[in-house]
């Protein structure tokens, strides 16, 4: 089978690998669509894990082989995959800190080598311990929608960590694909979302997805603008969806006393974040984080995506064939004003990458 193999920092190679062999308690899935995730981009660009590996974990495809001991699945079914599933009984799971569970930290989907998701290959082996994370895709929905269940789950998990009351104001800093998901989910919950970004195109997207206000994140008078829109109180919570320590500190200043600042993009270790301790202690502002997905939210995420209350199709601006995965990663790592979610679509032939849709189409924001 064709696979795109990580051989070192910024080194992705199209290679031929054997189709994975499954055990009696596993599935073999032919990949259809795989999203390009910032987590994998960081590993590829900075070489934070040893090669070789086949990345890609926002995956949907078709079951082609079912192990003899597997129940509840059959060949031909279209499914979305989750590469991490917790044990649900350890110290961390009892506290709902699933991403800290030792079982969760194992990757349960592979196309070969050390398991790393495998979505940048034609076939993946789905191990037994992640079968509870497999979601069947309804006939009316696409593989593309299935592939985006995992990132939506991570965002919904983070939203659940916020102590929000109806009508609360929430700053969402960064309106890339993840930030826009936050904007939409928070708007659906009745929050007054104040979206910031540096790209006017993305601010327009934020308004389309429910932001009450959309402001330039680098505006000199941003604090005054937010104060006017919140009657001088400041926002009740802030989500930092960009990997910027400056923005994180700014968010802590903009949140009113007793509010929360949620870090979602600060995933590189060894980078200290200097904060005003009194803001946390005296002002009782909570600085919290959220990472990865929550399997207990799987049904809620599926309802949001498959009902299209959260229409993830609108986020996808660029699709690349499998052999052009390196180009997809490059675009996602250096986003342009016209680029939001980038995916690898195995149905596309080489040279048939799809960019932004024309005005009036159902793909992209217009």
**Residues 208-246: tens digit of each pLDDT:** 999 999 999 999 999 999 999 999 999 999 999 999 999
161, with CB counted inside 10 A (0-12, 13-18, 19+), is middle
How large is the angle between the packed helices 177-188 and 200-208, nearest 10 degrees? 30
**Mean pLDDT, the chain, integer:** 94
Contact 208, 187 (CB under 8 A): no
pLDDT greater than 70 at residue 358:
no
In DSSP notation, 58-110 reads EEEEEEEEE-TT--S--TT-EEE--S----SSSHHHHTT-GGG-TTTTS--EE
Q: Is the CATH number of domain 173-288 1.20.810.10?
A: no
Whole-number pLDDT of residue 268:
78
The CA distance from 104 to 215, in Å, is 38
Whole-number pLDDT of residue 182:
98
Whole-number pLDDT of residue 176:
96
State the pLDDT confidence band at 263, using cuts at 50, 70 and 90: very high
pLDDT greater than 80 at residue 300:
yes
Give the distance between the most distant pair of CA atoms in the chain. Answer: 64
pLDDT greater than 80 at residue 295:
yes
pTM (2 d.p.): 0.94
Task: Name the one residue in this structure whose structure tokens are 């997207």.
Answer: 205
Whole-number pLDDT of residue 351:
78
**The two structure tokens encoding residue 128:** 């037994």
Task: Name the one residue in this structure whose structure tokens are 């599926």.
Answer: 302
Whole-number pLDDT of residue 356:
61
Residue boundaries of the structural domains of the chain: 2-153+295-345, 173-288
pLDDT greater than 80 at residue 366:
no
Whole-number pLDDT of residue 364:
38
The C-alpha R_g of the chain, in whole angstroms, comes to 20
Whole-number pLDDT of residue 240:
98
Beta bridge partners of 261: 238, 287
User: Do 2-153+295-345 and 173-288 agree at the fold level?
Assistant: no
Start-to-end C-alpha separation, the chain: 38
Considering the chain, what percentage of its residues have pLDDT values greater than 90?
92
The CA distance from 142 to 145, in Å, is 5
Considering the chain, what percentage of its residues have pLDDT values greater than 70?
96
The answer for residues whose C-beta is within 8 angstroms of residue 263's C-beta and 6 or more apart is: 240, 248, 287, 288, 289, 290
pLDDT greater than 60 at residue 362:
no
DSSP state of 129: G
The CA distance from 237 to 93, in Å, is 26
The predicted model gives 274-278 an average pLDDT of: 92
DSSP-derived 3-state class of residue 365: coil
pLDDT single digits (tens) 144-200: 999 999 999 999 999 999 999 999 999 999 999 999 999 999 999 999 999 999 999
Q: How many CB atoms lie within 10 A of CB 139?
A: 6
Whole-number pLDDT of residue 357:
44
The CA distance from 119 to 124, in Å, is 7
Whole-number pLDDT of residue 266:
86
The predicted model gives 1-9 an average pLDDT of: 98
H helix or E strand, kind and range, residue 302? helix 298-306
Q: Which long-range contacts (CB under 8 A, 24 or more apart) does 17-23 make?
A: 17/54, 17/111, 17/112, 17/121, 18/112, 19/122, 19/123, 20/110, 20/111, 20/112, 20/118, 20/123, 20/124, 20/125, 21/125, 22/65, 22/67, 22/125, 22/126, 23/67, 23/128
Whole-number pLDDT of residue 63:
98
Whole-number pLDDT of residue 271:
82
pLDDT single digits (tens) 75-91: 999 999 999 999 999 99
CATH level 3 topology of 2-153+295-345: Quinone Oxidoreductase; Chain A, domain 1 (3.90.180)
Whole-number pLDDT of residue 272:
87
pLDDT greater than 70 at residue 363:
no
Strands (E) located in 137-212: 169-173, 192-197
């Amino acid at each position: 089978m064709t696979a795109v193999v990580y051989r070192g920092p910024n080194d992705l190679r199209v290679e031929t690998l054997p189709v994975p062999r499954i055990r009696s308690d596993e599935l073999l899935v032919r990949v259809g669509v795989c999203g390009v995730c910032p987590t994998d981009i960081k590993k590829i660009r900075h070489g934070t894990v040893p090669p070789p590996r086949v990345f890609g974990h926002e995956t949907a495809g078709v079951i082609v082989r079912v192990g003899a001991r597997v129940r509840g699945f059959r060949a031909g079914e279209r499914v979305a995959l989750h590469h991490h599933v917790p044990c649900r009984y350890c110290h961390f799971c009892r506290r709902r800190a699933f991403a800290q569970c030792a079982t969760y930290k194992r990757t349960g989907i592979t196309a070969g080598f050390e398991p790393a998701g495998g979505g940048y290959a034609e076939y993946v082996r789905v191990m037994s311990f992640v079968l509870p994370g497999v979601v069947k895709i309804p006939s009316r929905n696409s593989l593309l929608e299935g592939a985006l269940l995992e990132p939506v789950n991570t965002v919904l998990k983070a939203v659940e960590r916020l102590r929000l009351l109806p009508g609360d104001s929430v700053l969402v800093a960064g309106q890339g694909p993840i930030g826009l998901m936050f904007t939409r989910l928070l708007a659906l919950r009745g929050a007054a979302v104040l979206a910031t970004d540096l790209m006017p195109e993305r601010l327009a997207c934020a308004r389309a997805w429910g932001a009450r206000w959309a402001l330039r994140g680098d505006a000199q008078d941003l604090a005054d603008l937010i104060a006017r829109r919140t009657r001088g109180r400041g926002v009740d919570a802030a989500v930092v969806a960009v990997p910027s320590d400056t923005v994180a500190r700014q968010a802590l200043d903009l949140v009113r006393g007793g509010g929360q600042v949620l870090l979602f993009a600060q995933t590189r270790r060894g980078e200290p974040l200097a904060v005003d301790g009194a803001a946390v202690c005296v002002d009782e502002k909570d600085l919290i984080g959220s990472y990865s997905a929550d399997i207990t939210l799987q049904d809620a995420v599926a309802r949001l995506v498959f009902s299209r209350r959260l229409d993830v199709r609108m986020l996808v601006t660029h699709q690349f064939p499998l052999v052009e995965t390196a180009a997809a990663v490059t675009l996602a790592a250096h986003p342009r004003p016209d680029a939001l979610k980038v995916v690898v679509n195995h149905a596309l032939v080489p040279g048939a990458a799809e960019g932004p849709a024309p005005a009036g189409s159902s793909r992209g924001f217009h």
